[in-house]
């Protein structure tokens, strides 16, 4: 069970193979000229080039081989050698009637896939800069899980670097470390107060260290001591970390972003010393300018790649060190097939260094894929890296709150809100808000920069998350009415007519979109598909009688088509981390 195009690819591929041509050239895709055909295969032209034959002759041989097949209602050669294909309505009915798992074939990969899509620093308020990694990573995780991959999402927070030295240094200098040490973790007010304290103190300490070299040096020294787990630094750190994690979990939960592993840089500390010793023994690590480094250059390099620093000259470790050690740990614990880092594109040199280092050190072999699935920078409407009017970065919680407010206003304007109780209204506003934010972000291609536009992120009309929810809710409302009228349609025969055909064909594309998203670690392919499906339904809904259709067979058929559409929309949205309210 796959998509319609994949099914056709097998047939056409066999026809190519029978002509001693590469099977892959039989790849069939949905036509980009729907006025000419439903599906197309372009392989004949490529095959002709390889075999030095006339493309139309090659195409003709394929067409002849396919013509005995009764699932095609049209097979034509067009232009230089396009093979245009239409399927019969009987085939389409049959495909949809037997549709299982939305046409998605499970993978047979049973090793783990590790997804790294968090990276927030502890003690810092989460801001909109954390949005993309969280949303894209969570969607990739959900999508891969649905395909049957065994994923592990790791938040991998920044908790072992110099920024911790700055914060701890500030507490000690002000002699206020007891605020942290004595905080009662069971008192939610105290915890909140401390988080607010971090939010003020950290920027202050960080700014001061940047201006004052002595403070910076002090922060570095404390960081080294912390990394040696010396007191009182380590105790203060532990408390800061556990409080921060609590806040972080709350925000991620609010966003509907989930992780399997709540690990940080510090968790792999014990792997570092043995790893460095091993690298020294292998003569890969050496001392340069007082630091312990590993060379990662390659003969074919066109640019200079600096070595990866494992230990700074003061003995401290950097995030490259912990990243390598994390890979050591992941190999040991999970022996994964892939590790995918969904991290800002600007980190690409860093990941290149890390990946080379661990391959060179034989920490991972060629059976393990290491990918930096980078995403573009979030810019403001002026094209520069995003800042609020006050010059800061907008907090993630503020963004969510704004979107919820806007959704609540919109909801109160609608007539149907009057009979909702407060709990339902709150739930609907929340779901609409999250859908708006997530879909606005996810529909962008992952790797290019994008403009952070608050109006767009909290927009509910047009190509938005709420539009998709709305269409899904409309179908579900119809189905509920059908149920209330005791209309049974689950076992109805599908009747494909002109009005239904586009929607029906689209239902057979789900797996194509899903696979593209997986291959590229890019949810925007799935977004594109969902939008097309929702639009196609909306058009269908506007043009056809469904519940009000007088012909009972046709009515049942259409209800069944609606039912399948709703299921697919709801599932696809779920894979993006978007959830559908009962009504809106």
Partner RNA sequence: GCGCCCUUAGCUCAACUGGAUAGAGCACCUGCCUUCUAAGCAGGGGGCUGCAGGUUCGAGUCCUGCAGGGCGCACCA
Residues in 389-418 that interact with RNA by CB under 7 A: 407, 410-411, 414, 416
Q: Which is nearer to RNA, 1 or 516 (CB)?
A: 516
541 lies in the site for RNA, by CB under 7 A:
yes
Part in contact with RNA (CB under 7 A); list of ranges 25-33, 271-279, 327-335, 565-573: 25-33
Which residues, numbered 179-238, are part of the site for RNA (CB under 7 A)? 220, 223
Count Cβ neighbours within 10 Å for each residue of 319-332 and write b for 16 or more, e otherwise: bbbbbbbbbbbbbe
Least distance CB 450 / RNA (angstroms): 4
Among residues 176, 451, 483, 497, the one that binds RNA under rule CB under 7 A: 451
Among residues 116, 267, 512, 570, the one that binds RNA under rule CB under 7 A: 512
Segments in 69-187 forming alpha helices (H): 89-97, 131-146, 162-173, 177-181
Q: Which is nearer to RNA, 367 or 543 (CB)?
A: 543
Closest alpha carbon to 41 in 14, 69, 2? 14
Part in contact with RNA (CB under 7 A); list of ranges 108-116, 239-247, 250-258, 375-383: 375-383
Count Cβ neighbours within 10 Å for each residue of 218-236 and write b for 16 or more, e otherwise: bbbebbbbbbeeeeebbeb
Among residues 443, 556, 557, 568, the one that binds RNA under rule CB under 7 A: 443
Least distance CB 425 / RNA (angstroms): 10
Which residues, numbered 453-482, are part of the site for RNA (CB under 7 A)? 453, 456, 459-464, 466-467, 470, 473-474, 477-478, 481
Among residues 377, 388, 426, 567, the one that binds RNA under rule CB under 7 A: 377
Among residues 16, 72, 82, 149, the one that binds RNA under rule CB under 7 A: 82
Among residues 50, 74, 79, 212, the one that binds RNA under rule CB under 7 A: 79
The answer to whether residues 157 and 134 touch, using CB atoms and an 8 Å cutoff, is: no
Among residues 245, 284, 487, 516, the one that binds RNA under rule CB under 7 A: 516
What residue has token string 């998605």?
104
Q: How far apart, in whole angstroms, are the C-alpha atoms of residue 533 and residue 571?
A: 12
DSSP state, residue 300 = T
Among residues 38, 86, 162, 244, the one that binds RNA under rule CB under 7 A: 162
Q: What is the dihedral of CA 153, 159, 163, 169, to 10 degrees?
A: 160
84 lies in the site for RNA, by CB under 7 A:
yes
What residue has token string 């992952």?
446
The answer to whether residues 311 and 289 touch, using CB atoms and an 8 Å cutoff, is: no
Secondary structure of residue 174 in the 3-state scheme:
coil
The answer to whether residues 503 and 561 touch, using CB atoms and an 8 Å cutoff, is: yes
Least distance CB 334 / RNA (angstroms): 22
What are the backbone dihedrals phi and psi of residue 475, each rounded to the nearest 5 degrees, phi first? -65, -45
Copy the structure tokens of residue 142: 């959900």
Q: Which is nearer to RNA, 175 or 455 (CB)?
A: 455
Among residues 135, 309, 358, 404, the one that binds RNA under rule CB under 7 A: 309
Q: How far apart, in whole angstroms, are the C-alpha atoms of residue 60 and residue 74?
A: 14
Which residue(s) pair with 311 in the sheet?
Answer: 292
Q: Which is nearer to RNA, 358 or 436 (CB)?
A: 436
Copy the structure tokens of residue 106: 């499970």
Q: Which is nearer to RNA, 54 or 188 (CB)?
A: 54
Least distance CB 209 / RNA (angstroms): 10
Q: Which is nearer to RNA, 79 or 335 (CB)?
A: 79
Least distance CB 368 / RNA (angstroms): 21
Count Cβ neighbours within 10 Å for each residue of 538-555 and write b for 16 or more, e otherwise: bebbeebebeeeeeeebb
528 lies in the site for RNA, by CB under 7 A:
yes
60 lies in the site for RNA, by CB under 7 A:
no
Q: Looking at 238-315, which runs of residues are DSSP E strands?
A: 285-288, 291-294, 308-311
Least distance CB 224 / RNA (angstroms): 10
306 lies in the site for RNA, by CB under 7 A:
yes
284 lies in the site for RNA, by CB under 7 A:
no
385 lies in the site for RNA, by CB under 7 A:
yes
The answer to whether residues 121 and 322 touch, using CB atoms and an 8 Å cutoff, is: no
Q: How far apart, in whole angstroms, are the C-alpha atoms of residue 552 and residue 501?
A: 19
23 lies in the site for RNA, by CB under 7 A:
no
Count the residues of the shown chain that bind RNA, applying the rule CB under 7 A: 112
The packing angle between helices 188-211 and 213-227, to 10°, is: 130
Least distance CB 2 / RNA (angstroms): 14
Number of neighbours of residue 62 by Cβ within 10 angstroms: 25
34 lies in the site for RNA, by CB under 7 A:
no
Least distance CB 273 / RNA (angstroms): 17
Q: Which is nearer to RNA, 95 or 351 (CB)?
A: 351
499 lies in the site for RNA, by CB under 7 A:
no
Which residues, numbered 345-364, are part of the site for RNA (CB under 7 A)? 345-350
Which residues, numbered 112-141, are part of the site for RNA (CB under 7 A)? 119, 121
Q: Which is nearer to RNA, 67 or 539 (CB)?
A: 539
Part in contact with RNA (CB under 7 A); list of ranges 60-68, 88-96, 483-491, 524-532: 524-532
538 lies in the site for RNA, by CB under 7 A:
yes
Closest alpha carbon to 274 in 333, 330, 334, 328? 328
Q: Which is nearer to RNA, 183 or 434 (CB)?
A: 434
- CA of residue 104 relative to chain centroid, distance: 18
Copy the structure tokens of residue 313: 């000259």
User: What secondary structure, in 3-state letters, does 68-102 show?
Assistant: CCCCEEEEEEECCCEEEEEECHHHHHHHHHCCCHH
Q: How far apart, in whole angstroms, are the C-alpha atoms of residue 123 and residue 163?
A: 9
Least distance CB 448 / RNA (angstroms): 5
Among residues 448, 483, 488, 553, the one that binds RNA under rule CB under 7 A: 448
419 lies in the site for RNA, by CB under 7 A:
no
Q: Which is nearer to RNA, 195 or 530 (CB)?
A: 530
Q: How far apart, in whole angstroms, are the C-alpha atoms of residue 240 and residue 497?
A: 64
The answer to whether residues 99 and 141 touch, using CB atoms and an 8 Å cutoff, is: no
Least distance CB 189 / RNA (angstroms): 30
Least distance CB 162 / RNA (angstroms): 4
């Amino acid at each position: 069970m796959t998509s319609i195009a994949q099914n056709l690819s097998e047939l056409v591929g066999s026809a190519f193979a029978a002509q001693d041509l590469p099977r892959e050239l039989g790849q069939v895709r949905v036509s980009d000229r729907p006025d000419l055909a439903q599906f197309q295969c372009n392989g004949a032209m490529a095959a002709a080039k390889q075999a030095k034959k006339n493309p139309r002759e090659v195409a003709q041989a394929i067409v002849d081989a396919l013509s005995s097949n009764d699932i095609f209602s049209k097979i034509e050669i067009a232009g230089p050698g396009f093979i245009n294909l239409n399927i019969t309505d009987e085939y389409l009915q049959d495909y949809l009637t037997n549709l299982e798992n939305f046409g998605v074939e499970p993978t047979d990969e049973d090793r783990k896939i590790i997804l790294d899509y968090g990276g927030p620093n502890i003690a810092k308020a989460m801001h909109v800069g954390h949005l993309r990694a969280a949303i894209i990573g969570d969607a990739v995780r959900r999508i891969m899980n649905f395909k049957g991959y065994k994923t592990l999402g790791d938040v991998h927070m920044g908790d072992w670097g110099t920024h911790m030295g700055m914060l701890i240094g500030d507490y000690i200098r002000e002699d206020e470390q007891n605020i942290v040490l004595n905080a009662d973790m069971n008192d939610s007010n105290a915890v909140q107060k401390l988080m607010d304290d971090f939010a003020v103190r950290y920027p202050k300490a960080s700014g001061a260290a940047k201006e004052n070299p002595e403070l910076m040096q002090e922060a570095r020294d404390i960081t080294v001591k912390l990394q040696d787990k010396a007191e009182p630094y380590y105790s203060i750190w532990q408390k800061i970390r556990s409080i921060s994690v609590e806040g972080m979990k709350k925000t991620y939960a609010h966003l509907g972003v989930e992780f399997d592993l709540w690990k940080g840089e510090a968790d792999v500390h014990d792997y570092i010393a043995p790893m460095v010793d091993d690298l020294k023994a292998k003569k890969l690590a050496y001392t340069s300018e007082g630091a312990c480094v590993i060379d990662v250059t390659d003969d074919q390099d066109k640019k200079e790649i600096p070595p990866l620093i494992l230990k700074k000259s003061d003995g401290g470790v950097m995030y490259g060190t912990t990243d390598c050690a994390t890979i050591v740990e992941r190999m040991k614990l999970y022996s994964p097939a892939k590790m995918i880092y969904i991290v800002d594109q600007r980190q690409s040199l860093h990941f290149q260094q890390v990946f080379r280092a661990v391959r060179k050190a034989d920490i991972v072999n060629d059976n393990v894929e290491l990918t930096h699935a980078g995403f573009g920078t979030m810019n403001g409407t002026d094209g520069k890296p995003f800042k609020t009017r006050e010059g800061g970065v907008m907090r993630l919680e503020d963004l969510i709150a704004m979107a919820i407010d806007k959704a609540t206003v919109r909801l109160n304007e609608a007539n149907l809100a009057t009979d909702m109780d407060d709990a339902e209204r709150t739930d609907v506003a929340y779901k609409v808000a999250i859908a708006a934010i997530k879909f606005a972000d996810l529909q962008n291609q992952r790797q290019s920069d994008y403009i952070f536009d608050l109006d767009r992120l909290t927009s509910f009309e047009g190509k938005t998350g709420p539009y998709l929810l709305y269409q899904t809710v409309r179908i579900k409302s119809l189905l509920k009415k059908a149920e209330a009228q005791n209309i049974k349609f689950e076992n109805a025969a599908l009747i494909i007519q002109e009005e239904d055909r586009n929607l029906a064909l689209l239902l057979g594309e789900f797996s194509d979109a899903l696979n593209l998203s997986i291959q590229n670690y890019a949810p925007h392919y799935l977004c594109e598909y969902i939008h097309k499906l929702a639009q196609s339904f909306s058009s269908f809904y506007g043009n056809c009688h469904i519940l009000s259709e007088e012909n009972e067979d046709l009515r049942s058929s259409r209800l069944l088509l609606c039912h399948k559409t709703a299921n697919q929309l709801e599932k696809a949205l779920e894979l993006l981390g978007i959830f559908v309210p009962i009504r809106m």
